[in-house]
Copies of this chain bind each other. A is one copy, B any other.
Amino acid sequence: MTSKIGFIGLGIMGRPMALNLKKAGHALWVHGRRAATMAPLVEAGATSCASPKEVAQNADIVFICVSDTPDVEQVILGENGLVHGVRPGSAVVDMSTISPTATRTFAAALKARGADMLDAPVSGGEVGAINATLSIMVGGGPAAFARARPYFEAMGKNIVHVGDHGAGQVAKACNQVVVAVTIEAVSEALTFARRNGVDPAKVREALMGGFAGSKILEVHGKRMLDRDFRPGFKARLHQKDLKIVIDAAHQLGLAMPGAALVAQHLNALMGSGDGELDSAAIVKVIERMSGAEK
């Protein structure tokens, strides 16, 4: 069945995700802040729109994939934002990684216009977006989830309905905490090995497959050994994601000492001009700190 789909935000992640929806045979209305980002979609048969409002006026379900909370706020609530064009009975699916609290506010504003919202942040990076193998963590009502599911299946693989509004963002926040703190763990371990005169590649080999085994030891551990810090996922964006977590923990009155520690190491990467590197570059902070950079 052909659906009328909107897609706002056509960056590194959004572009291939929108293209996968187009490939699945849907009619597509798109908007990107920089007009040039719309060109590959228009070539593929999508219709370009001047604003989120115009997208909402044409589509039954609108996907958003932008960078941060203020960007989503602009897309939904701003001048010519979705709320000004959204039709009753339509749905808005935010696939950006943003604040769970702000997400609940946006859902309420859309509800007041008769539109359902889902938060559905993703994990898996550009490669996952291109290959439609993203993990998608979804918050919102069950009816909206059922409605959006076929579109999620055109973009990802591991699709989990975590809970109500904001729950997808909470799961993504947890994901970013686990990834960051595990990178810290591997960084300290491999630096400890090297400073003891032991081959860190041998140590990684000995640790894989046991209780210390993880996707991070496998992928990011390899990047550290190869000194290959091309992203992957940029430290700058990981810093932004951990700020969301630390801010939420502040509001909740919840101490997250490990996450807070690694957030500081991401700050250090930004300060040393390494924000565009993969967040595996946390190992450089650990090395530098004790004068041991390779």
Contact = CB atoms under 8 A, between A and B. Distances in A.
Interface of A: 100, 123-124, 135, 137, 158, 160-163, 166-167, 170-171, 173-175, 177-182, 184-186, 188-193, 195-199, 202-203, 205-217, 219, 245, 248-249, 252-259, 261-262, 286, 289-290, 292
B215 A175 contact: no
Contacts of A258: 181, 184-185, 188, 258, 261-262
- 10 nearest CB pairs, A to B: A214-B214, A181-B185, A174-B189, A178-B212, A160-B206, A135-B210, A170-B198, A184-B258, A170-B196, A137-B206
B162 A203 contact: yes
A197 B167 CA distance: 8
Contacts of A181: 181-182, 184-185, 188, 258
Nearest to A259: B188
Given A167-B202, A188-B259, 13 more contacts: A123-B210, A123-B212, A135-B209, A171-B203, A174-B193, A175-B189, A178-B214, A180-B185, A185-B258, A192-B249, A214-B214, A254-B290, A257-B261
A156 to B, nearest CB: 10
Given A162-B202, A162-B206, A163-B198, A211 B171 contact: no
What's the number of copies of this chain in the assembled complex? Answer: 2
A193 B167 CA distance: 8
Contact of A177 (B178, B185, B195, B198): B185
Given A202-B162, A212-B215, A254-B195, A171 B290 contact: no
21 contacts: A135-B206, A158-B210, A160-B205, A161-B202, A162-B198, A162-B203, A167-B196, A174-B203, A175-B210, A175-B211, A178-B185, A178-B207, A181-B181, A182-B182, A182-B212, A188-B257, A196-B252, A210-B215, A211-B219, A256-B286, A258-B262
Contacts of A162: 198-199, 202-203, 206
Contacts of A290: 253-255
Contact of A179 (B161, B208, B212, B219): B212
Contacts of A259: 188
B123 A211 contact: yes
A192 B170 contact: yes
A211 B179 contact: yes
Nearest to A188: B256
Contacts of A213: 214-215
B206 A175 contact: yes
A289 B255 contact: yes
A250 to B, nearest CB: 11
B206 A215 contact: no
